[in-house]
């Protein structure tokens, strides 16, 4: 006894510590431990298959667990959220031992099988709750709630809060049931308030004698009721059980319904939450493959919201999906119902409909930081390393083109010739191309002026110069004057010869290729100090005109590459940020 008390006290203290580290989200008295109560990785989710159909007469619900497991990628989707899965397999009737013999008269059909099956289910649920943070039970008809709720309530320290999402109240007793089907009695078998209405000895219920009431009606909330029998209505009103039928949901909305329900049955969130969902709570449009469909039910989106809000409290420990019957309806109906069940389960596991993205701190995170799911320990460091590699690659992708110089071609003109030649000049930075173009325009203007000078010289040379006729008149010209005129005539002839020689030199120069040289001094100066005199509009192209020994005009072109100081700081800062990411 002392060991049991110490164990319960330790659980209570641990639960109190978890509750003190959460914040308000649902209103007064409601808190949020991330998206649900699951602690950082490794996150384990237990899955139990309840392949049972003994609580009703229709064949097929025992195939429900297999349909949900294999009708999609349920386990892969749960693992994608960062969880680890521990599958306990399917519990079948064939696996049971010590089944009691069938009774001749009993008020519950198949009670001899139900008693053994629910006892085994209770033990399996207790094991899963001890080993996992969340347990998922795949039904099976709704009679399996007798075993799941009993196992859950036996495990927890505080009272268990049960949210019962169903079109039917399932609150009949063996005395009031017209069919004797156990899937319409689980609530009455579990609640202590009904124990005075059930006599296990007189009603032939000896196989259920081990079952003790584990919950109270004040810990129960119905959502989605719309097909309630007369006696069930009397019981609901007499016992004051909290219920939200479809009319209430239409009036205030499903989000307000679940908020009010949790405030009533679990005001301080001290109790674990057991979420039991019958697929017939939804309209047949969303879940057609079920045994007792009722029109006018919840939408899939509303049931998903119930699972999301319940999980957001951090107290959800078990969710069960029941009454899915793959033998009812067409293959499309079965597929639609299976998809709906899987979507509800994923919502309870933390799937966020707004879209998820990964980061190095949490595995799943939305922009409002309201829903968080940790990565597994193996995945988080790996993802962080990959993100750093991507940042480095992105930095290199941006910096390399920015620091490289594009190879450009331009026109270089001689100072006195009319020939133009396309040559490859020193690489010019793409930011400095406008300055290089301005330098090229200046050279072009210099060329045009040189062409005008050449044309003027050619026009002067084209005009024939008539030798002056020296009219000598012995009577009027003295010998000294005659000598001066002869010297002037000789000078004009020499000038004409010089002009002709200059024209010939120009023609020879045009016939020779232009010799271009890189200004090595300026390029060496740039290599020594690339940021010297750097500015956003520094001199990019420098041209020098030299006269070589042969008298030929040679254009020497050099490029002074410069990067603005502000641009350089931005590039270096980007690189440092990427390195320290």
- Asked which of 48-62, 115-129, 356-370 is least confident by mean pLDDT, the reply is 356-370
- 550 and 419 share one domain: yes
On whether the CB atoms of residues 519 and 558 are closer than 8 A, the answer is yes
Let me know if residue 400 belongs to a domain.
no
Let me know if residue 246 belongs to a domain.
yes
On whether the CB atoms of residues 237 and 125 are closer than 8 A, the answer is no
- 347 and 414 share one domain: no
pLDDT band at 442 (very low <50, low <70, confident <90, very high): low
Of 346 and 469, more confident: 346
- 429 and 314 share one domain: no
Q: What is the DSSP letter of 61?
A: G
Let me know if residue 417 belongs to a domain.
yes
- 119 and 225 share one domain: yes
Token pair of 411, please?
A: 């026109």
Q: What Rg do the C-alpha atoms of the chain give, in angstroms?
A: 47
Let me know if residue 363 belongs to a domain.
no
Contacts of 12 (CB under 8 A, 6+ apart): 157, 158
Report the pLDDT value the prediction gives residue 500, as an integer from 0 to 100: 84
Among 351, 370, 391, identify where a domain stops.
351
Q: What is the mean pLDDT of the chain?
A: 74
Mean pLDDT of 388-407: 61
Buried b (16+ CB within 10 A) or exposed e, 64-85: bbebbbebbebeebbeebbbeb
Count Cβ atoms within 10 A of the Cβ of residue 500 and give its class: 0-12 exposed, 13-18 middle, 19 or more buried: exposed
Of 163 and 547, more confident: 163
- 337 and 422 share one domain: no
Q: What is the CATH number of the domain that holds 305?
A: 3.40.800.10
Let me know if residue 87 belongs to a domain.
no
How far are the Cα atoms of 53, 137, 373 from residue 317, in angstroms, in the given order?
A: 25, 11, 16
- 225 and 129 share one domain: yes
Let me know if residue 171 belongs to a domain.
yes
Contacts of 426 (CB under 8 A, 6+ apart): 518, 523, 557, 558, 559
Mean pLDDT of 320-332: 96
pLDDT in tens, 129-140: 999 999 999 999
- 277 and 166 share one domain: yes
Report the pLDDT value the prediction gives residue 223, as an integer from 0 to 100: 98
Report the pLDDT value the prediction gives residue 213, as an integer from 0 to 100: 93
- Domains: count for the chain: 2
Token pair of 181, please?
A: 């089907």
pLDDT band at 165 (very low <50, low <70, confident <90, very high): very high
d(CA 95, CA 98): 10
Report the pLDDT value the prediction gives residue 481, as an integer from 0 to 100: 78
On whether the CB atoms of residues 428 and 438 are closer than 8 A, the answer is no
Let me know if residue 579 belongs to a domain.
no
Query: 413 is in which domain, residue-wise?
Result: 409-466+477-568
- pLDDT at position 439 over 90: no
Let me know if residue 84 belongs to a domain.
no
- 306 and 193 share one domain: yes
Among 351, 367, 392, identify where a domain stops.
351
* Chain-centroid distance, C-alpha 260: 32
Among 351, 368, 398, identify where a domain stops.
351
- pLDDT at position 392 over 60: yes
Token pair of 250, please?
A: 């239409």
Of 279 and 541, more confident: 279
Mean pLDDT of 503-530: 62
Query: Which one of 46-55, 93-102, 520-529 scores highest in mean pLDDT?
Result: 46-55
- 344 and 419 share one domain: no
């Amino acid at each position: 006894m002392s060991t049991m008390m110490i164990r319960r006290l330790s659980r209570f203290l641990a639960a109190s510590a978890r509750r003190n580290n959460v914040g308000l989200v649902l209103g007064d008295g409601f808190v949020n431990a991330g998206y649900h109560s699951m602690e950082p990785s490794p996150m384990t989710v237990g899955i139990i298959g309840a392949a049972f159909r003994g609580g009703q007469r229709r064949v097929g619900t025992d195939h429900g667990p297999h349909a949900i497991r294999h009708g999609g990628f349920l386990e892969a989707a749960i693992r994608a959220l960062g969880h680890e899965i521990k599958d306990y397999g399917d519990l079948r009737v064939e696996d049971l031992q010590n089944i009691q013999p069938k009774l001749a008269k009993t008020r519950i059909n198949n009670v001899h099988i139900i008693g053994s099956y629910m006892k085994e289910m209770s033990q399996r649920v207790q094991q899963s709750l001890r080993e996992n943070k969340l347990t998922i039970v795949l039904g099976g008809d709704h009679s399996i709630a007798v075993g799941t709720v009993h196992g859950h309530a036996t495990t927890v320290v505080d009272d268990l809060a049960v949210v019962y999402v169903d079109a039917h109240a399932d609150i009949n007793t063996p005395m009031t049931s017209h069919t004797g089907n156990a899937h319409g009695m689980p609530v009455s078998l579990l609640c202590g308030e009904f124990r005075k209405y059930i006599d296990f000895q007189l009603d032939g219920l000896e196989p259920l004698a081990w079952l003790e009431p584990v919950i109270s009606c004040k810990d129960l909330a119905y959502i989605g009721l719309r097909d309630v029998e007369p006696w069930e209505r009397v019981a609901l009103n007499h016992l004051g059980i909290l219920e939200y039928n479809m009319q209430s949901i239409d009036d205030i909305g499903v989000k307000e319904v679940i908020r009010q329900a949790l405030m009533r049955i679990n005001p301080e969130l001290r109790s674990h939450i057991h979420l039991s969902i019958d697929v017939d709570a939804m309209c047949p449009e969303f879940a057609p493959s079920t045994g007792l469909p009722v029109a006018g039910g919840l939408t899939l989106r509303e049931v998903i919201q119930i699972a999301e809000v319940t999980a957001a409290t951090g107290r959800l420990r078990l969710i069960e999906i029941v009454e899915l019957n793959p033998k009812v309806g067409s293959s499309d109906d079965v597929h639609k119902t299976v998809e709906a069940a899987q979507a509800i389960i994923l919502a309870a596991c933390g799937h966020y409909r707004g879209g998820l993205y990964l980061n190095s701190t949490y595995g799943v995170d939305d922009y409002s930081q309201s829903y968080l799911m940790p990565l597994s320990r193996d995945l988080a460091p790996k993802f962080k390393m990959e993100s750093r590699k991507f940042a480095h690659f992105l930095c290199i992708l941006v910096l390399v083109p920015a620091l490289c110089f594009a190879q450009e071609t331009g026109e270089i003109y001689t100072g006195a010739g009319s020939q133009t030649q396309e040559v490859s000049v020193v690489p010019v930075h793409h930011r400095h191309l406008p300055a290089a173009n301005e330098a090229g325009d200046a050279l072009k203007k210099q060329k045009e002026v040189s062409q005008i000078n050449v044309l003027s010289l050619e026009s002067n040379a084209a005009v024939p110069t008539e030798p002056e006729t020296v009219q000598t008149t012995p009577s009027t010209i003295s010998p000294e004057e005659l000598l001066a005129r002869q010297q002037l005539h000789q000078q004009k002839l020499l000038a004409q010869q010089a002009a002709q020689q200059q024209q010939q030199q120009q023609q020879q120069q045009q016939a020779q290729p232009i010799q271009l040289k890189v200004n090595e001094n300026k390029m060496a100066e740039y290599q020594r100090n690339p940021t010297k005199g750097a500015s956003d509009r520094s001199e990019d192209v420098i041209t020098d005109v030299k006269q070589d020994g042969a008298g030929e005009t040679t254009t020497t072109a050099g490029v002074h590459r410069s990067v603005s100081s502000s641009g350089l700081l931005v590039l270096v800062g980007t690189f440092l940020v990427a390195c320290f990411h």
